[in-house]
Structures are given as structure tokens and as C-alpha cells.
Structure 1
Amino acid sequence: MALWFPDWPVQAVRLSRDDPAPADDPLAIAEHHRIRACGLSARRRGVRRGMKVRQARAVCPDLEVIDADPERDARIFEGIIASLGEVASSVEVLRPGLVIIAADAAARYHGSEEVAAQLLIDAASRTGVDIITGVADEVTTAVIATRVAGGGVVRSGASTSFLERQPLGVLVAEEALGCDEQVVRTLGDLGITTLGELAAISVGSMATRFGQAGLRCHAIATARQSRRVAPPINTANWEISHIPEEPITRVDAAAFRARALAVQLHARLAEAGVVCQVLRVTADFTDGTTSSRVWRTSEPLTEGATADRVRWQLDGWLTARGVVEDTDGGITALWLTPLECVPPEMASDGLWDTGTSHRAVARQVIERVQSTLGITAVLQPVPAGGRGVAERIVLVPYGEQPDPVRRPGGKWLGRLPSPLPARLGGGINHPAAQVVLISASGTRVTVTAEVRLTDSPYALGWGPRRYLVTAWAGPWPVDDRWWDSSGQRYARLQVVGRAVSGTGTTWDAGAEPESEPRAWLLIWLKGRWRIEAIY
């Protein structure tokens, strides 16, 4: 059974306030200048996830924007998890705002799944907070069920028939499913629109084309997930424990201890050659009580991810207890228990590794740099529209999208035809990019005012290197920005050649080509040939 709390970051902000604003006031959560989550009132006014903050404020001027805070989301969610724990014993957190529960165990205790679901909803109910439930044979199917038609129960054995009708987009609607967005987008481009069509593809084809990320999507579509909620501990003892000299009562002290325990745990797991995907955090308190919580992730836990979850959990427990003194409910002992460990190749870094886990680590580092130095501190190249070669790639801040006017699919009359060069040259003004074209008679080949070559190219010289021209096309005139004083007139020429042994200043007419052909995109500007790009 999956319990989904829609727009949880927004609800967490409202629940954390002593004097919450009315529910119809538009509220959104932003991260890196983009909307990460928004409430129902904001969506009704046109705000959507992924929007730039300035665009969201343009469509909804009275929108209140709050910075994303995962610790706040987890701390507030702890109160709901504690309430659920009074009804069911096996509560597992996928992320703040989404939990899974062993429905069969809860049904046996309370009489039926419907009764158990109603009791869980009643226990977790908070003013203004919606709850949607989904029940199925598999964890992933139950999560998808919460996203379809307001939740529901998928009867036993009917997961495949239920999933085959679902649109492909549900795989990326919930981040806890762990599906690669680029893979799902590519599948859509190939004409796959439903999970049923995805399931019809053979496992071998998915592994060959999309690797581990594709197999993850295929396993969800075919209901092949077999993990149970709160699985038993492995026989190997990889548990890490700590008993502080003084009870832990401060959040900063808990954060420091969480980092140290995460380092110890991952050192032990690395020595054993495994990674953890399900982690249980347990703490003893000075009043004699014990609290325990299970966290599950779609990808292997990293050292930083483990430290974050332990810190969130301890922060939530201390805040919920209102600890203010050493003798007022502080933590006296702490355990980290990996409940489900697998070899790395079974997680994400196997033979068909798609780099998903490495991209996640890189993204965390980049986002940390941007938060310190500004969003423009890290730029990434993205395809764009344009006529020339250099115009087809633009640098934008990491996580941002290029100007829609420069979209790659737009019509650009006069643009350079395919195939495009593989690498840009040193630039049209770079000295190393200057070349010489000569004809068979030894005269230099130039471009006339009528944009015609003075003779057919026979050889090309680039510094000490010599090439015999085997093919050429052009020239093509360009009148760039004719309406502006910064505009220039030039011409482009494509040339294919083979290297020869001669490296002096003279040409050997009898030299034989000695390598595979190479190709260049030349530009004639200010009376000289230059290399704009290399094929």
C-alpha cells in the first residue's frame, strides 16, 4: 500500500507555520530559480512545475515563493509517519510525502485492506493535506496507482492488465520510481505511448539499447518488482552503532554524528563490496523509548545521501519531542542498519551502466557550486538553432533551458547542411586556424567579389602539414547581420583531403596520400582562409 501526499513541500511549509495562510493563497517551492512544487491554488492560476520563478510570478503576481528545504519537509513529515506507525508496524519511507506499507499485514490485523487504508488515512489526516492511496502486488505498481484516477486498489494478479493501459509518462511522474527521464523521452520519440507497448519489447532489446536504465523501466512496466516492504536483515552484520557520552539534544550535534556514522557505514559496505538501498535508523532516548524508521531509495545510497536521511530523521525526532535539555528526551544510542544490500552491478553500475548514479553525484556537486558562487558559475553546452556551426551550440547555466527562439528544430534558412562538423576549429580569428589553398598550377585559390573560386583547389596547407584535396563543395556566401555595423560578409567552403609526406614549403606533385581522408569547413574572411570547423 502506497500513501502519497501531493504537493508535500508546499504542505510542509503550511504545517510549519504557527499562523498558516489561507489554503487558497497561491504558494510555490523554488529551487535554482525554478518551481519545484506548487499548491492547487497556484496551479489554477497557471503556475506549473519547472517554470522559471519570474515566469510564474508573471502569470500569478501574488504568488508566494519559498526556497526548497528538504530538512523541513522531512522534519514535518516525521509527525505523520509517527501517526501511521500507530496503525501499521511496517511503514517505509520512499521520500518525504510518500510511504509504503505492507498491506497484507495491516489487512490481517484490521480485517481488510479497505479498513486498514481508512484507518491509515484517518491517522495521517491533517488540515488542508490530501492523501491518495494505492494498493497492488508490487511496490512500484502501488506507487503508480496513487497517480492514476485518484488512487485505488489493483486486485491481486491484475497488475499487468492495469499497467498496460497507463501512459508512458507515469514512469517519470514520481521520482521515487527511479526511472531515467532521458530514456523515457527517447522511448516516447520511438513511438511508445503506454506501458503495455513498453512491456511488449523483449528484455534483450531493452538491455542492448538502453542498458540498466531501460531494464528498470521495463521491470516496472511488466510488474517484475519483487521487493517486499521492510525486508528481513541480511545474514551479514553491517550494522553501525554509536553511544554518545552525553545525550544528543541539538540538531547540529545530530548532524555531525550522522555524517560520522555514514562514513563508517559506507566504509564497511565498501569493504564487503555491496551497496545499500534500504536503511533503518534506530534511536534510544533518555526516557527509555526507542524509535525506528526505514528509508528506501531507488538508487544505491551514497555517503552523502545516507548522512542526509539520518540527519533529517534525528531532526524530526528531536523536534517532535521538543527536546530542550540533556535530560529531556535526548538520544542516548543510535544504530544504522542496512536492510537490503546488493552488489553494485545489480544496482546501477553494471555491464550496461548508463551513468545515472554518476550523473546524480555530479549534479549534487554542481548544485553546491551554484548555491555558493551563483547559478552562472557552471555552464553547460546545449544544442540551439542557427545557420553557422558555432551558433548551433550555446552555453547556458546548468539546469536552465536555452531561449525558445533558438530551439534546434526551428527553420533557419541558409543554414549549413548536414552532416555537421564534429569539432570547432580555433575560431575564425585564431592564428592556428589559418590555411592556404592552392591550385594545380601552384597559385593561391581565393574568392572573387562574385563569390566564385579563382581556380579549382588542388592542395591545402595548414602550418607544416600538407593535404591533397580529393573533393570540395562551395563556396556559399554569407551576409551576416547586414542591418548592423558589426555584420560581416564572408564565404564558406567544404574541403576533403588526404595527408601527404611532404612537410616543406614546396609541393611534391607525385606525393602519395598516406592516411584516411579528413574534411574541413573553411571560411574566407578578410582575404584569408581560416578553419571554422573540422569534420
Structure 2
Amino acid sequence: MTVPAQRAASDLPARMLVLWCPDWPVVAAAAVDGVSVTVPAAVFSANRVVASNAPARRNGVRRGMRRREAQSNCPDLAVFGADDGRDARLFEAVALAVEGLVVGVEVVRPGLVAVPVSGAAAYFGGEHALVERLVDEVSAAAGVECQVGVAEGLFAATLAARRGEFVEPGRVAEFLAPLPITELDQPGADRAELVDLLRRLGLRTLGAFADLPERDVVTRFGTPGLLAHRLARGRSERPPLRRSPPPELTVTEEFDPVVERVDVAAFLAKGLATRFCAGLAGHGLACTRLGIYAVTEDGEHLGRAWRCAEPLTPAGVADRLRWQFEGWLRAAPGRRPTSGVVRLRLEPEETVEGRSLQLDLWRNGRSDEDDERAARAFVRVQGLLGPEGVLTPLLDGGRDPAGRVRLVPWGDPRERTTPADATWPGRLPAPSPATVLDRPVPAQVVDAEGRPVGVTERDQLTATPRGLSITGGPPRAVVGWAGPWPLAGDRRRPGPRRARVQLLVAGEADDPPEAVLVHCAGTENPLWTVEGVYD
């Protein structure tokens, strides 16, 4: 009977201390702009609130709220843009303050730092004494407020820090049980869809989810559900099957000339991140704890460990490299290095099996030789022309076809800047044109009598379109049409009515008909342009 007990104990995560600085993006932005902490403030990304301080929340500002709604609730709201580099740069002072007392500091993300608690607590005379010293040190050195939580595992310790609680050893499941199921969707965890599904199934608390049999969870929700289920039970996110990575997986780079600017470091980080993750992928591994170590020209040694809830992708490694260089090179005088960085080492301090997690490793672990050769060529071109030398299109939110296409530099995260559930009044319905013109081409649409067709105040065409002439060319017969679709906002703005129409025009000679997207402005003397062509 002792063996199962030992196995169960080994499945419990180590006891962690998490120090959390509330509303850190707002705190960092306000500090840079010299705004008082008593002023209502919020940080926005893609026109939505991503963080707000307590005065703003008292005035009804909530995360995910649109900017217009937030400012209507709080007219005095100070508005800041999201900037991960700024947040990481200012948080370095907090990390240094914690590191002055405790070894093994791990930055989870700007605003959140974790340390193993057992050795430090014994040195300072207990967990409570350690927390008091940490809070005083951070307040004196960085001048910011913080909260501390202690529990088994990073997930539970983070939730405890948000509530300022100490979870007694062995009672983490009891602590987690009454918490809402939405706590599973921590920043960077990407569990929004899973949480929404669990809520629709009637599982409103972590305890209700933890009570489900593990076999049923795997059958219904797969590997992501299993990992979340282990967290809800207070267990390690993954079974303790981690192994020490071979030493050749460490990536070291020498710089000549030395790196003294953040933009240079950010550019170099992309290539290093790609090499780092490719080496791990070759051994079927992914990194969950990244060590970043540097040596300056004057012999100073810098180092920081970054822990991530999910395995790091090349983009994630590059982001953390950029954030760390922001913290080192732009720190306050007296804290920054006295010279540039001459050597950088990336070390996978904790890894997990890639196949067991069904991970995408470096182009999702399935890139063939041609893809890798093309990727190296793209990086080479960027080295010659800069990051903007190679761009890839990304379909994003927007009303018009051209506005929905965003060009992303090769290697940058291909992430939407607008929420997936955002509505776009006046948006052209599917299908979208296969070819969108950079510059709309002038055209003319006429009815059966040869008179120009326009758009009425009721968003209707003045007549049935029968002919289309492009750039003054010969008219082509219109054999079918759909629309019009009025542009959003026209009812609230003066000027001619505007709408888009899909036209199917007869082909030349024996060519098949061709579908085009046209735009019209005005009723009298309407202005028509061709915006796109359908396949």
C-alpha cells in the first residue's frame, strides 16, 4: 500500500511562491507617461480593454470592453496602448528585487514572478516571514504594490496570489474547488474555447470539473482537457516524466559588434529562437522553462529564467528574448549593464515530450525539406532587406476586402488584432473576391437604356444594371448581380450614399462570364470603381 501513496505524492507539484503586481500593464504605462496611480486608466489592444486599474474598474471599465463604451462609462479615463516591451523593461526592477532575496527566480510574464519556496522559507524562518521580506523589498526597490500567494504548483499559486492567500500543504484541491471554471483561461493558456464549452455543459467551478473521471475527460476533451483537468485537481499539469535535455540543445551566440540596442537584439532573436526550437524538435522535445544568460563586454554576467504554462514556440522564445533585452538595456542608470552583450546563451532548463502533447514543433513538427529551405531563404532576405523585406498576408477583421488583409513580417506571430467574435456592420458577405486591387479601377454601370445606375437613400439601386464599362472601355453585358450592400456609417454621415455590388459580366468571345466586385457612391452622377475580381 505504500507504493501507490508514493506515486500519488510524486504527482503533486512543488510548493511555489508567486508574487503578482496587480494591473501591471497599466502600472507600467502610467509610470512611463508620468500619470498618477489614482487616475482611472486602461490599456487597449485592438480597441478593447486588456487591463485596467482599480479606479477605472470602480467606474465600470471592464476587460474586453470596447474603447467607446469604456470612455462613456469613465470620461476621465487615461488611455494607453499595449506594449509588451515596456512592461517587461519596467518589470526587471521587480525581478531583481526578488532575486536579491531568493534564488531560482522565474519570470512567468511581466507582472508575475515565481520562486520555489522550500529553501527560502527555511532560511528566513517560515513562509510568512519570507513573504513580509519580499513585499518590503519590492516596495522599497521598485516602488510598486504586490500580492503574494503560496501553494503547490504554479497554477494554484498564481490564483492564491490574486487573492493574497497561503494554501496549507496538501489542501490545494480544497482551495481550487469553489473557484470559477473561468480561472483555467489564464493569459497565454489559450483555453477560452474549452472554458466556454465546460460552462455550457453546466460545469461552473473547478471542483465540478475535477470530479469528472479522468478517462471521460480524455475521451470528450482530448489532451487539452486532460491538462486542464489535472490543474483543476491540484496536480502537476503534466505527469512527472520530464528529462534533462542533452547539452547540445543549448544555443550559444557570439556577437561582433556587441549588441547595445533593443531593436538589434529583437531582430537577432528571431533567428536564435528558430535554431533553438528546431534543435528541441529534432529530439521530440519542447521547452517550458527557458534560461536566458548573457555576458557583456566588461565581463558582467546576466541571467533570467522564464517559465511558460504552455510549451514555447519560436515566436514565444523570440518574444521573451526581446522582453529580456528590454529589461537589461533600458533599465534605470545603475541597474543597466555598463557595456553591450558579447555572448548569449539559451538553455532549455525544463522540457516536455513533444509527441505526448501532440505539439507543433518548428513549423508544427512536420516541415519538409523544401519548407525549411524556403524558411532559411526568407530569413536570409530579411537579413539583407530588414524584417519588412518578407511579408505574409493574414486575413483579419474589417469591413472591406482590402482592409481585411494585413501583411505580417516573416517570423512574427500571425495573430488576429481584432476579436474573432467582433461584428462588422456593412461587411461584405462571403465569398470574398479572390483578387483585391491595390487601387480601385474607375468604371461605369448603366441600365438597359444606357443611363447611369446609382444608389438611393434607401440603399437600393436606381435601376437594374445591364452594362459595365471599365476605364472607358467597351461596355460588357451584365448577366447577373447581387446586392447592394451599403457601407456602415452612411446613415450617420452627410454625403452620397455608398454601396458594393457583385456583378456577373459576359466574357469576351468564348470566355466564361467573370464576376467582379464594384463600389458605387452617389445617386446623381454616381462614381463606380472595380475593387476586386472573383475566380
Shorter-chain TM-score bucket reads 0.5 to 0.7
1:293 partnered with 2:313: no
Taking the aligned partners of 1:210 and 1:22, their CA distance within structure 2 comes to 46
The one of 191, 201, 207 equivalent to 2:212 is 201
| Kept in 2: contact 1:3–1:100 (CA 8 A) | yes
AA of the residue aligned to 1:225: S
Is 2:286 aligned against 1:271? no
Show the counterpart of 2:122: 108
Q: Of 153, 156, 165, which aligns to 2:166?
A: 153
Q: Distance in 1 between matches of 2:326 and 2:96?
A: 14
Counterpart of 1:3 in structure 2 is: 19
Alpha-carbon shift at residue 63 of structure 1 (Å): 1.3
Deviation of the 1:404 alpha carbon: 12
CA distance in 2, matches of 1:87, 1:47: 37
2:85–2:323 Cα contact (<8 Å) kept:
yes
CA distance in 1, matches of 2:239, 2:27: 29
Shift of the alpha carbon at 1:298?
Answer: 1.8
Q: CA deviation at 1:347?
A: 3.3
Give the SS at the match of 1:246.
strand
Q: CA deviation at 1:155?
A: 0.7
8 Å Cα contact 1:299-1:347 kept in structure 2? no
- Match of 1:237, as an amino acid? E
Tell me, in whole angstroms, the C-alpha distance in 1 between the residues paired with 2:431 and 2:83.
Answer: 44
Q: Which residue of 2 aligns with 1:309?
A: 320
Instruction: Decide whether aligned partners of structure 1 residues 345 and 270 sit closer, same or farther in structure 2, where only a CA change above 3 A counts.
Output: closer
Residues 345/152 of structure 1: CA separation in 2 closer, same or farther (3 Å cut): same
Q: 1:47 aligns with which of 61, 77, 90?
A: 61
Is 1:117 equivalent to 2:140 in the alignment? no
- Normalising to structure 2: TM-score of the pair? 0.64
Q: What secondary structure does 1:299 align onto?
A: coil
- Give 1:523's aligned residue: none
Matching residue of 2:404: 377
User: In structure 1, what is the Cα distance between the partners aligned to 2:137 and 2:243?
Assistant: 26
Instruction: Give 1:31's match in structure 2, choosing from 45, 48, 53.
Output: 45
8 Å CA contact 1:139–1:228 kept in 2: the answer is no
1:27-106 to 2 correspondences below 5 Å = 27-106=41-120
CA RMSD of aligned residues (A): 3.8
The structure-2 alpha-carbon separation of the partners of 1:286 and 1:226, relative to structure 1 and needing over 3 Å to count, comes to: same
Deviation of the 1:343 alpha carbon = 2.3
For residues 439-494 of structure 1, what are the alpha-carbon distances to aligned partners after superposition, in whole Å with 9 as ceiling and x for unaligned? xxxxxxxxxxxxxxxxxxxxxxxxxxxxxxxxxxxxxxxxxxxxx7969xxxxxxx
For 1:397 and 1:7, the matched residues in 2 are separated by: 21
Q: Is the 1:183–1:214 Cα contact (8 Å) retained in structure 2?
A: yes
Could you say which structure has the larger radius of gyration?
Answer: 1
Question: Unaligned regions of 5+ residues in structure 1, if any?
Answer: 351-364, 380-395, 406-423, 427-483, 488-535
Distance 1:68 1:220 in 2: 29
Does the C-alpha gap of structure 1 residues 193 and 213 become closer, same or farther in structure 2, counting only changes over 3 Å?
same
**Is residue 349 of structure 2 the alignment partner of residue 339 of structure 1?**
yes
Instruction: Name the CA distance, whole Å, in 1 between partners of 2:31 and 2:395.
Output: 28
| Structure 2: runs of 5+ lacking an equivalent | 1-16, 361-391, 407-415, 433-457, 462-535
Contact 2:296 2:342 (8 Å CA) reproduced: yes
Q: Tell me whether 28-37 or 232-241 shows the greater mean CA deviation.
A: 232-241
Q: CA deviation at 1:72?
A: 0.6
Q: CA deviation digits over 1:210-245, x for unaligned, max 9?
A: 11221122111111117899x995344310111212
Match 1:191 to one of 193, 202, 205: 202
The 3 A distance-change label for structure 1 pair 75 and 228 is farther
**Could you tell me whether the CA contact under 8 Å between 1:85 and 1:91 is conserved in 2?**
yes
CA distance in 2, matches of 1:258, 1:169: 34
Mapped partners of 1:12, 1:171: distance in 2: 26
Shift of 1:38: 0.9
Shift of 1:321: 6.0
* 1:179 Cα deviation after fit: 5.5
Give how far 1:306 is off.
Answer: 0.7
Is residue 399 of structure 1 aligned with residue 426 of structure 2?
A: no
C-alpha spacing 1:163/1:137, structure 2 compared with 1 (3 Å): same
Measure, in 2, the Cα distance between the counterparts of 1:485 and 1:98.
53
CA 252–179 in structure 1, closer or farther in 2 if over 3 Å, else same: closer
CA distance in 1, matches of 2:121, 2:417: 50
1:348–1:125 Cα change, 3 Å: farther
Superposed, 1:391-430 pairs within 5 Å as 398-399=418-419, 401=421
Task: Tell whether the 8 Å contact from 1:34 to 1:51 is kept in structure 2 after alignment.
Answer: yes
Deviations 1:11-53 (A, max 9, x none): 1112224xx2222211111101111111111111111110111
Residue 175 (structure 1) aligned to one of 184, 187, 211: 187
Q: In the alignment, does 2:242 pair up with 1:242?
A: no
- The one-letter code of the counterpart of 1:164 is A
Q: Which amino acid aligns with 1:138?
A: G
Kept in 2, the 8 Å contact 1:32–1:375? The answer is no
Q: Residues 66 and 485 of structure 1: is their aligned pair in 2 closer, same or farther, counting only changes over 3 Å? A: closer
SS of 1:153's equivalent?
A: coil
* 1:105 match: secondary structure: helix
Query: 2-side partners of 1:328 and 1:211: how far apart?
Result: 50
Assess, with a 3 A threshold, how the Cα gap between structure 1 residues 329 and 242 changes in structure 2: closer, same or farther.
same
CA contact (8 A) 1:275 1:343 kept: yes
CA contact (8 A) 2:243 2:351 kept: no
CA distance in 1, matches of 2:101, 2:210: 36
Tell me which residue corresponds to 1:511: none
Amino acid at match of 2:122: R
Contact between 2:395 and 2:405, CA under 8 Å: does it hold in 1?
no
8 A contact 1:38–1:48 mirrored in 2 = yes
